[in-house]
Structure 1
């Protein structure tokens, strides 16, 4: 079935507007908002689904609501951050007539405070995810710039050993310092595996189900 003439005319007008270079910066901000929302939902929904059904107690309705809340918050925050970042970069470029490297840091700095500044579980996970990658990238950048010599051997095995040694030491003796979701995961792996009452909660279930 063919689209009505009015709809076809509207689509032609919209596509013509989208192709105009004079509006590119503003439209890029809007598409950034769209991409942030979509990507945030794609990333958070599967993670929230798995973590909620593995570790969260409550009814099915409560679990589904928790998944929707986490997905919405991640999607909304990421959408607004991309919108803010791209908007501030475009504004700085417009004011100064060109783009400078400092624009990226300043725009993201302000966007981070405005969007991800609240200390909650979702923002904490996102920030820690980024922190690990930033530290890796800064190490590589320091080598590229010659600030530190390039290692003559692969440091990854040593880094791995230190990370795992520290996280298990923290879990065993300073557990409260770890993020709650990590505590839950490690409890499942290292403590729940110490307890069973029969074949059902040894092999099939993590914990025995209450008898009726």
Structure 2
């Protein structure tokens, strides 16, 4: 039996593996994003901009790696030591995630880059919001059992086939997404016009580059297309 196959070392190996994966994923995501932002939307010598790209990449990787280490460690303590008295592992994951976020993402200790922690948290929030709406919709459909007209026949939700239920939920998802997209982009453009300083910096820079072209001058088509 080796260290990798020994159950005694399994918890610490999982923590190290999660940290490694956080570094790899964070590095890949942030490097490409920071590279595009600095090369397209920033000006000045190339060397300082590339250094900023590497710093942002390192910061993003650190955030994901440290969160993974704290989360996996806290979860291991809660589950293996039965801190919650043998309660659901789901509750343990919620507590471990909240505790880890308090240290890493909340900026309570000011240990990590605030722009990156804010950006990651807002990214997750949008996904949590969409997922939460889907969960509530499924809960509503399963609990209230609304009726639908199928080929002039009134059928309850539970009486629909699995395929029909899936199509029905997707129809609701698509409709709600339309309103969500309209409201989101309307508010983004409103805030950018009235209080742009409150928007995340990379979003603000990209919007300035794309939309604020009123004062641009293009002496030739070559300048216009940026060739």
TM over 0.5: yes
Aligned-pair CA distance for 1:67: 0.5
Aligned pair 1:195/2:189, yes or no?
A: no
CA–CA distance in structure 1, aligned partners of residues 200 and 208 of structure 2: 12
Q: Which runs of 5+ in 1 are unaligned?
A: 1-12, 206-212
- Pick which of 97-106 and 52-61 moved more: 97-106
Partner of 1:9: none
- Which of 93, 96, 107 aligns to 1:107? It is 96
- Detail structure 1 runs of 4+ shifted over 6 Å in the superposition: 147-150
Partner of 2:106: 117
Partner of 1:141: 135
Partner of 2:77: 91
Aligned pair 1:44/2:66, yes or no?
A: no
Aligned pair 1:180/2:174, yes or no?
A: no
Partner of 1:171: 192
CA–CA distance in structure 1, aligned partners of residues 128 and 59 of structure 2: 23
Count of aligned pairs: 191
- Which of 201, 204, 208 aligns to 2:226? It is 204
CA–CA distance in structure 2, aligned partners of residues 139 and 165 of structure 1: 21
Q: Secondary structure at the match of 2:50?
A: helix
CA–CA distance in structure 2, aligned partners of residues 52 and 165 of structure 1: 27
CA–CA distance in structure 1, aligned partners of residues 114 and 44 of structure 2: 21
Scaled by the length of structure 1, the TM-score of the pair is 0.82
Scaled by the length of structure 2, the TM-score of the pair is 0.77
- Pick which of 28-37 and 112-121 moved more: 112-121
Over aligned residue pairs, what C-alpha RMSD do you find?
2.3
CA contact (8 A) 2:19 2:68 kept: yes
CA–CA distance in structure 1, aligned partners of residues 92 and 70 of structure 2: 13
